[in-house]
Each structure stands twice: as C-alpha cells, then as structure tokens.
Amino acid sequence: MVTREQALNQRRINDWKRILNMPEGRRVVWNLLQACNFRTHGFVPGASDATAFHCGQISIGLYIADKIREANFSALEQMEQEYVAEIKQISKEMEDVEDL
C-alpha cells in the first residue's frame, strides 16, 4: 500500500520530470540555479551577514539541483550544455551583425 507521503513524493518527481522535458522548463530552472550561485561557496571574508545570505542562496540552488537529479539524473548536464550552446549561438549571431 502506498502512503500519502509516497504518493505526494512521486507526484513531485513527476512534476519535475515534466518541467525538465520542456526546453523552456530547462531554461527557467537553469536560470534559477544561476541566480542561486549553486556552484560557488558562500563565504565573504569579514561579512557574516553576506556569508549567511549567500549560503541561503546556495542552499536553495542545491535543493533544486537535488530535485533535478532525482527526477532525471542527466538533466543538469543537459541544461548546462544547452545554455553553453545558446550563448555560443548568440555570440555568433552578434559577430555576424557586426560584420555587416
């Protein structure tokens, strides 16, 4: 028998899967991760309040990253690759305009 908590957890995982299956969803989630600076450390020398603030941001980013991995382990890498490809494409388009 499935408990209520298990059913809610499975629904949450399914929700993440649906979001991660859409390019728009991956872009939004990647943007949130970037805003959280989840791949940095939070320490700010001599500023405990700034350190606490940054650690809070990072904590949310790590939570999001954990949920992504739980729903689709390779999605985090996919999002990063898509972001890099998009930046390269935009840079190329800008260079083409400058060459005109």
Q: Looking at the domain assignment, is residue 67 inside a domain? A: yes
Stretch 18-34: mean pLDDT, rounded? 97
* pLDDT value of position 99: 75
Rounded Cα distance between 2 and 20, Å, is: 25
Q: Looking at the domain assignment, is residue 2 inside a domain? A: no
Q: Looking at the domain assignment, is residue 63 inside a domain? A: yes
Q: Domains in the chain: how many in total?
A: 1
Q: Looking at the domain assignment, is residue 64 inside a domain? A: yes
Query: What is the residue range of 35's domain?
Result: 15-98
Q: Looking at the domain assignment, is residue 7 inside a domain? A: no
- Three-state SS for the chain is CCCHHHHHHHHHHHHHHHHHCCHHHHHHHHHHHHHCCCCCCCCCCCCHHHHHHHHHHHHHHHHHHHHHHHHCCCHHHHHHHHHHHHHHHHHHHHHHHHCC
Q: Looking at the domain assignment, is residue 93 inside a domain? A: yes
For the stretch 66-95, pLDDT in tens is 999 999 999 999 999 999 999 999 999 998
| Stated pTM of the model | 0.84
Q: Looking at the domain assignment, is residue 38 inside a domain? A: yes
Q: At what angle do helices 23-35 and 4-20 cross, to 10 degrees?
A: 100
Q: Looking at the domain assignment, is residue 28 inside a domain? A: yes
